[in-house]
Structure formats: structure tokens, C-alpha cells
A and B are shown apart, each in its own frame.
Chain A
Amino acid sequence: MNHSILMAILLLSPFVGFLINGLRYKKHNGTAAGTIATVAVVISFLSAILLVADLAQMPHESRVITANFFDWISVANLHINASFMVDPISAIMILVVTGVGALIHLFSIGYMHDDPGVAKYFAYLNLFLFNMLILVLGDSLPVMFVGWEGVGLCSYLLIGFWFTDEEKAAAGMKAFVTNRIGDAAFIIGMFILFLSFGSLNFYELNALAPAASLSWLSPVTLGTLFLFIGATGKSAQIPLYVWLPDAMAGPTPVSALIHAATMVTAGVYMIVRLNPMFLAAPNTLMIISGIGAATAVFAATIGLTQWDIKKVLAYSTVSQLGYMFLACGVGAFGAGMFHLMTHAFFKALMFLGSGSVIHAMHHEQDIRKMGGLRKELPITHWTFVVGWIAIIGLPPFAGFFSKDEILAMAYHSPFGSQLLWGLGALGAAFTAFYMTRLMCLTFWGKSRVDHHHVHPHESPWLMTLPLIVLAFLSAVGGWLGIPKAISDILPGNPENFLEHWFDGVIKPIPGMHEADPSMEWTLMGISVGIALIAAALAYHFYVQRPEKPEKFAKSIGPIYKVVYNKYFVDEFYFGAIINPLVRVSKDIWYYIDVNVIDGATYGITNLVRGAGQFARGLQNGNIQVYAMYISLGMVATLLFLLVR
């Protein structure tokens, strides 16, 4: 089939779904709305498969399918087409977005079936996918930005989906405002790049950038730096990560789709998309890797202390996104994409699993009130176990391969260092600990469920089927990128499929040495070892000796308090930025707005009114006064004629 038509179907199918559900938003039939939405996404998924299959058959060096629909903006020397492209990078993304998206839509039918706003919910979800596809497929920064803003809007709408709860509405607003800060930087980045290169098309930018200079103030460095700030907003990195944990106020499938699997990876995707340009800015890469590693550790430590099942997963997402940025920062863009993909599988799985748990527990999210759920929720439990093994990075599950590749690259790459590797490994240890803690408190150990009020039950097949599919993907997804050291000892020496797939669109790291296999084995051994130790420690703490954690928390008192309160970052932002801003705004309102702006408008109205009053006085109805005006006019005319 024609590629443009396929692309149009891929893009517009969710949009049509959005229109249908959006126009019948008052209907309460959850199954009908869910079916429409899911079918729309499945159609998208099928056309994505067809497109990627065609792409795979093309010769390696010319693997790109573009579809130009119309001229969007044409001003002076700025020409932007509404043009979309599938290349090996966006191919991975459209498969993940539509595939995982379809599974999550399916899950939502079960999860949201008795919600009164269900048609609206599915309309938003489809609109989100439409925008996400624009973001992923756009072949220039402005087209990507349209999707970038669109997903932000849908994220806001879905976080605040239950907007009658003021706290949830506020969480949506927080996400929106925090993202605006990043988006402003994104726009500035675009301006800088357009000023210095005269183009915003990805291919042209990537071709032009490597010739640019490397200093701190060079346009490439500044432009990429601002784009990265944009990415920290969307992808929840320090310092703009604060919105993501609060975003858990939305329905759980939304957290799985938007705030774990797809939207929050947009920043990583954008950097990978522009990888030749970021490689031309080593200073930016240094900052990216630093922020990525710091976020990975920082968020993981907060995850250690949280009691809300979704908050733990949210901090875990922030931390895993940190790994992706760490990968990009050391130049291993392929590893970043790989982790993006595997993370989409296992984190979507775990969010849906937590949704299943929350559903079973009648909307209880506190893991202190769970425990021993493995008997009541066998399918949820076993799929969650797969996700757990995948995220803590035990072979041969997906997370092992992607996280290990990132850590190895952080160690070997000329942009990396032992410090970055150490931070990554520390984050991995924390990850293993808090995920095991979550497993212990939720599924294992003694039940703390209040059996008088809550009767946990396994979810219907609509919800367990996506869990099983995602568990399968989390188990085998990593085999797409088997590292060389392992492949050498496997029968048949399977090649690293992803590395081969990205060949040509993702640049190799310049000055990268062939790693010593024994070193690779050592690194692998260390990361698996610390993960196992941390997991065992958590098991000991939370299952065998459940009184220990509290004692330990007391023994380190103040530190625990600081971490438990998320390092008081929200409080710091309120104290240092938001409140002063509010105060200054109020001052501006009271003094500048009231006096100057209002003063000016009132001044003008008073002037007009005064002029009117004066003119009214002239026309007083006294005939002799009129006669005097005429006489004066006549005298003035005569004087004028005389003087002239």
C-alpha cells in the first residue's frame, strides 16, 4: 500500500477515535467507548507494523519513509512542512507507542468500566496517542513540538481526570506548569538552532551540526542545552521532575501509558533523534550524563521510603529515565533507546499490575495495608514478578540487557567515567532494594489486608491479558540487544539486532575502544551481584524481620525524615521560587497594575469625558451665545484675512 496513506491511517485512526468518543462523551457505556478506542489504536498498530516491515526491507543506507502532507508554515526563509517520517529510531517508537498503547486501552476497558466519564476518558487517551504519534513521526522540531505540546495537554487532562478532587486537579496543574518551563526552553533552543543553521529539519540539522565549533557559547552547545532543559521538563529530570510523582493522581492506566511508557520518554527520544548534533556538543553531553546519573540515584533514594504503590513506581520511573539520559550523555544513544523500549514494557507492566492491585483493593494504594496478595491475585503476582526481575536487572530478562549496556557504556565511553558508572551501579542497588520492598509489602509476607471491608479478587481477563503480554515482552524484549560478550558464548552467536538496526541513524561514539570481554564480564557480575544483595537485604528486612526497617529508620532519624519528605524539594521550590513569584506578582498587581496601567486607562477616559463636558457646555441652548460664536468666527476669519 502507498506509504503516505499508511502513514495517514497510522496518524488519524486515534484521532477519529477521539472524535467519535469525544462527540458522545455523555454516554456511560464503558464497553462501547473502550471498544471504539481500542480498535482505533489497533488499526494504528497494524499500519505501524506494515510500515516498519516495509522499512526493514529497504536497503540499509536509505532506510527512511517520509510522507509530506502539506506546507504548514512558509515565511521568508522559514519553511516547515507537515511532514512525517519513519526511520529506524521512530520505527521502534511507533511500535512501542501503539503496541503498548493498545494493551493499555484494553486494560482500561476493565479498569474504567463503571466510571461515569468513561467516554471522555477514552477520547483523551486516543487524543494522547494521536499527539504522541505526531511527536514521534514529525521530521522537524516544530512538528515534533506540536505533538510535544499536545501530549502535555492530554497529560494535564488525564492527571486531572477526576477534577472534582481538588488535590488531583492541582496535580494536573502542577504537571502543566512545570512542563511549560521546559517547553519555553525547548522553544528557545529551536530559535537558537534556526538562527545559526537556518533550518529546523532533523536531517538538515544533523548534517550541519558536526561542523560547528565546540565552545560553551557555540550555537550547537547552547541550542542542545536548551533542548535538553526542555527534555528535563517532559522527561522528569532534575530539576523539573517534581510533577511526575504528583501525576499519579490520574487513573492508573494513564500512569502506565503516559507517565511511564511513552510521553515521559519523549525527551530521550528527542535527544536520540538529534544524536549527531548532541555528539557535536560534548559540553552538553557532560551535563546530560551528570543530570541523568544524579536523577537515577536521587529518585531511587526517595523511592526507598514511599508507602504509596504508585509513588514508588513513579520515583522508579524518574530514576529509570535518569539511566536513559545517562546513556545519551555518554554518547550511547542506542543503549538509551534500548532501555526506553524495555522500560516501556516492564514499567507499563508494573503500573498495570499496580492498577490491578488497586482495583482488587477497592482503590487502596497504601502498601502498608496490603501484603500476602499473591494468593488472591495469582496472575497479577506472577506477571509482577517478571517485571520485578526485569527492572532489577537479572538475566535473561529485559532490564538486564539494557541497564547493563548503559552501565558498560558509562564505564567505557570516552564521555563516561568510573564515577558515572559508580552512580549508575548505586542506583541499580537502590532500585533492587525498593522494588523488592514493594514486592514484599504488596504480594509476599503476612497479609495486612482489612478482610472485613476488602475482599481482594483477581481482575477480569481484559485486565490480565495485557499483563501477560507485557510480561512476555519484559521477559524476552532484552534479547534484541545481546551484548557481544554474551553472544560469543551462546550457540550460533546471535547478533546484536538493535545495534545493527540503528546502524546509520545513530552515530557510533567517536574514540570508543573495543571493550575487553573480561572487563565486561566483571561489570556485569558486579551489577547483578549488587542487585541480588540489595534484593536479599530487602527480603530480609521486609519479610523475615518486618520490625527491622522501622528500627533502622529510627536509628538514622533525620536522614530518613529528609528522604521520606522527598528532600523537601517541593517545599524548597515553594519557598525559593513560587512564593516569591506570587509575592512579586501581587506587588506588581497592587502597585504597577492598579496605579500605572489602570491609571493610564482611567486617565484616558477622564480626558475624553472632560472634553465631552466642555463641548456640552458650549451647546447650552442660549441662542445669543450661538450668535456670539458665529460673530467670533467671523471676526477671526476677518483677522486672518487681514494678517495674511
Chain B
Amino acid sequence: MQDTNLLLQIGLGHYLVLSAILFCFGMIGLLLRRNAIVILMSIELMLNAVNLSFVAFSKYLAQQEGQIMVFFVMTIAAAEAAVGLALAVAIFKRFQEVNIRFFEHLKG
């Protein structure tokens, strides 16, 4: 009983706080890390933090649109990860490292 009570006590607020914490982790990673793969992972983390709040709102407002939006976000995240990882591979082959400062060599 105790367990169910505890589960029932989790509300929208908790989900949103978790979402915000995940988003901030992602953002800090994005701003501070130099490794392109880690940056991509951080972006992934931010996107999924947003997805979490979408789903939470969808559940608590009893509306389906939020969940639909999550599918879009996941699709775009997958596409973005594919392109990003392809670039990362290209950079790694050239420099044996995927520091983002090497990305400026892509131009021209």
C-alpha cells in the first residue's frame, strides 16, 4: 500500500523538475565539452528532457497531441544523430580526434 501511495504522490511537478534537471545537464554538456560525440549526446539528452515534459503534460492534461509531438522529436533526433555521427566519423578519420574545433576545416 505504502508503495502505491508513494507512486500516486508523484505529480506533474516531479516530472517537470526531472525534465528541467536533465535539460540543464544537457545544456552544460553542450556548452562545456569539446568532444563532438559528447555534444551530440548532450543534445540528445536535452531533446529527451523536452520529450519527458511533453509526455507528462500529455498525461496530466489528457491530450494526445503531446505524445504525437514526441514522435516527431524522436524522428528528428535520429536524423540529426545520423548526420552528426557521419560528420564525427569524417573528422575522426582525418584528425584521429573529434574535437569540435576541427569542424572549421569542413568549410570550403
Q: Which residues of A contact B (CB under 8 A)?
A: 621, 623-624, 627-628, 631
Contacts and interface: CB of A to CB of B under 8 A. Distances in A.
Contact of A631 (B27, B100, B103, B104): B27
A445 B101 CA distance: 107
A337 B31 CA distance: 96
B100 A623 contact: yes
A321 B18 CA distance: 105
Contacts of A621: 104
Interface size range on B against A? under 10
B62 to A, nearest CB: 26
Nearest to A634: B27
B31 A624 contact: yes
B104 A627 contact: no
B47 interface: no
Given A621-B104, A627-B31, A628-B31, 9 more contacts: A623-B100, A623-B103, A624-B30, A624-B31, A624-B32, A624-B100, A627-B30, A631-B27, A631-B31
Contacts of B100: 623-624
A623 B103 CA distance: 10
A627 to B, nearest CB: 6
A621 B30 CA distance: 16
Contacts, number: 12
B83 to A, nearest CB: 15
Interface in B85-108: 100, 103-104
Contacts of B30: 624, 627
Contacts of B31: 624, 627-628, 631
B42 to A, nearest CB: 10
Nearest to B104: A621
Pick the 3 closest A-B CB pairs, nearest first: A627-B30, A628-B31, A624-B31
A624 B103 CA distance: 12
A627 B28 CA distance: 10
A623 to B, nearest CB: 6
Contacts of A623: 100, 103
Interface string B29-45: 01110000000000000
B10 to A, nearest CB: 24
A624 B30 CA distance: 7
Nearest to B33: A624
Contacts of B104: 621
A627 B34 CA distance: 13
A552 to B, nearest CB: 98
A621 B27 CA distance: 19
A642 to B, nearest CB: 13
A623 B101 CA distance: 9
12 contacts: A621-B104, A623-B100, A623-B103, A624-B30, A624-B31, A624-B32, A624-B100, A627-B30, A627-B31, A628-B31, A631-B27, A631-B31
Contacts of A628: 31
Nearest to B24: A631
A623 B40 CA distance: 13
Nearest to B28: A631
A636 to B, nearest CB: 14
Nearest to B107: A621
Nearest to B36: A623
Nearest to A635: B27
A627 B40 CA distance: 13
Nearest to B100: A623
B43 to A, nearest CB: 10
A621 B103 CA distance: 11
B48 to A, nearest CB: 18
Nearest to A628: B31
Interface in B42-101: 100
Contacts of B27: 631
A627 B32 CA distance: 10
